[in-house]
Amino acid sequence: MKKRINCILDILKRAPSPFISIQSLKRKCGKNIDSLLKKLEKEGKVVSKGKKYSIPERAGYIKGIFDGKREGYGFLMPAGDMKDLFISPNDTYTALNTDLILAKKTRKSRGRWKARVVQIIERGREYFLGKIISVDDKLVFQPNDKDIPYYFELENANRVKEGDWVIAKFLKWTTPTLSPLVKFSKKIHKDNLYDIIVNQEYKLRHTFPKPVIKEVKKVPPGDSKEREDFSNLATFTIDPVDAKDLDDAISIRKDHKNYHLWVHISDVSRMVKRDSAIDKEAKSRGCTTYLPNDTYFMLPPVITKKLSLQQGKVCPAITVYISFDRDGKPREKKFYKSLVKSDKKFSYQEAQNILEGKAPSKFKGDLKIASELARILSLKRNQEGYLDFHREEVKVELEDSHPAGVSPKRELWTNQIIEQFMIAANEAVAERSKANKTPNIYRIHEEPDRMELERFKDLVESLGFSLESIKREDLSNFLSEIKGSTYERILNYELLRCMKKARYIAHPEPHYGLASNLYTHFTSPVRRYPDLIVQRILFGEKYSEEELEGIADHSTKQEWSSDEAEREVTNFYILKYLEENKWEKYRGMVVDIASDGIWVELNEYLVRGFIPIKLLPPDEYKIKNHALSGKRHNFQIGDLLFSRIYTVFPETGELTLEYSGKIKRV
């Protein structure tokens, strides 16, 4: 069967015309290939037109992940190195968020290509979490995924009632004129929603298959021979205080001419062998997912622990050495299989305290040199157009899986030190692969849509700021200029909304946000599968471009799902906390305007709630210049105000607020 499949694909690739008749294929590959053609068509490897066949790329079709939006439109995130394509609400066919689809490129409009979905290759999910609601006196299923803007028809609606939370199994959706059809699977209690979101929506699991568990017990420690011995080099890790894995460490020195940086990364490839049971499971998971009260590891925890660069322990590693001149320009790069010993495990706060003179340490000199070099690299990268977004995050404090508080996560300078060094190491590895013409996985970030940036510039100017142009260098300068201003958070958020999602591809392309001509992920192989692949390739393992494309696409999908799970579960717990403290008055900022109300982000919690017009002061409101304006009242993006909770539903992520007064800016 494999021989016939290869025959079909080879003929379609080499044929003089894009479409080949089934008779021609049968003459060359055998008569009994009808079932194989159907199989290949279902997998998106061939497309048909009547009784003629072609491969997608020759027929003008593109395969990729559908990134759906709640407004009904979406984007095709293509396999390979193509830029994403816009899909209008009328052209999504029966695609649902996260589906693997086949689309036809249609036309270019305002600088962006558009596409039309022609086939669903694989559904992103088999089961959906959602709520039973009544629409026009008929019970329907409303998915919990906010980026699915459709109600689903229930095959067995007689088994549920309005208000039930259920798991539904997807059955089919054959035409856009009908609703997607699902089958009620089981009811769930609201108190179990956290587990359902994790296990059903995102398919996260703690347990590992039996072959993996069996293999873990037999994993050899890996070789320590023929490695460069850096164990006498002063080395330390800097990580979050609650870090679950320690896969990177640094060493640094300075002489009268240069800075010398060693980035040591755990050698995962020595223990996790290609195509082993552990490797296949890691590939399936794609990454480790960190949730407020749990961690879902990519590798079995016992392996993760063994691979961590623990304090005082000599560990096999892969080391990237880079020397920089005083202007931050790389002068020399070397790559080693090494032995390292971490002399000290620092948290970001501990390292920050030492730099600020609040705590003594024998590594104070090393940290000061690291800080010097990081500032030079940061300044150099900013001059090249690096978009230094100020990212605010919160930490949910839990007691017995119950939200007991929400506190801000402070971003410290020591976070930036490590980030600058990891970027440098990742770039060095990517450049080596390209120079050697070795097929590899790269991390790319495409240019944002010009219209989105023009919209951002218009908002900036409506708030009284000046933005010279929408070129990356001017955007970078603007982010620096607004640091510390009361508008910093909203303008960071609005610019982030213009950005596309970073992803993996098997072809070297630039990373827009980092202002990097070439970038990969190499520095976290314990928790990101592409990093493990890059690590293997760095020291000689070969992968075909087809293999790498498959890994890149799957890893992208898994990473996006992991990020979404973290956001959704964190939001769930924050809203649970607010539900129990709903009578308080909260400070917030207007972050978006709609014709029927305003969106407000609560300052201390970073969750967004909606204030409908009926809960604003009575007036005749209209949208004008990024504001909701009436005859007596005006609400503009960036306004500060007080609000109270009107209704909150943690299960659906819905928060409705009631206006309580404006806050004057100081």
Chain segment 75-128, per-residue pLDDT in tens? 888 866 567 888 999 999 999 988 989 898 888 776 678 899 988 988 988 888
**203 located within any domain:** no
Query: Residue 275 class from Cβ within 10 Å (0-12 exposed, 13-18 middle, 19+ buried)?
Result: exposed
**197 located within any domain:** no
**Token pair 């798991």: residue:** 167
**Token pair 């873990």: residue:** 216
**DSSP states of 253-320 as a string?**
EE-SSEEEEEEEEE-GGGTS-TTSHHHHHHHHH-B-EEETTEEE-SS-HHHHHHHS--BT-EEEEEEE
CA terminus-to-terminus distance, the chain: 74
Query: Residue 652 class from Cβ within 10 Å (0-12 exposed, 13-18 middle, 19+ buried)?
Result: middle
Of 219, 214, 335, 271, residue with least CA distance to 532? 271
- Residue 378: which pLDDT band, with cuts at 50, 70 and 90? very high
- Residue 310: which pLDDT band, with cuts at 50, 70 and 90? very high
**204 located within any domain:** no
Looking at the fold, whether 375 and 240 belong to one and the same domain comes out as yes
**205 located within any domain:** no
Please calculate the CA angle 161-166-169 and round it to the nearest 5 degrees. 115
Q: What is the mean pLDDT of the chain?
A: 90
Domain boundaries, position 35: 2-58
Pairwise CA distance, residues 630 & 98, whole Å: 40
Looking at the fold, whether 20 and 64 belong to one and the same domain comes out as no
pLDDT of the residue at 80: 60
pLDDT above 70 coverage of the chain, percent? 98
Looking at the fold, whether 37 and 138 belong to one and the same domain comes out as no
Domain CATH code at residue 161? 2.40.50.140
Chain segment 517-549, per-residue pLDDT in tens? 999 999 999 999 999 999 999 999 999 988 998
Pairwise CA distance, residues 129 & 144, whole Å: 6
Q: How far is CA 574 from CA 294, 591, 651, in A?
A: 16, 19, 11
Looking at the fold, whether 519 and 600 belong to one and the same domain comes out as no
Higher pLDDT, 13 or 519: 519
How many domains, in total, are found in the chain? 6
Looking at the fold, whether 226 and 103 belong to one and the same domain comes out as no
Q: Which of 368-382, 438-452, 553-567 has the highest mean pLDDT?
A: 368-382
All residues at 6 or more sequence positions from 94 whose CB lies less than 8 Å from its CB, including other chains:
117, 120, 173, 174, 175, 176, 180
Say what the pTM is: 0.85
Pairwise CA distance, residues 557 & 534, whole Å: 18
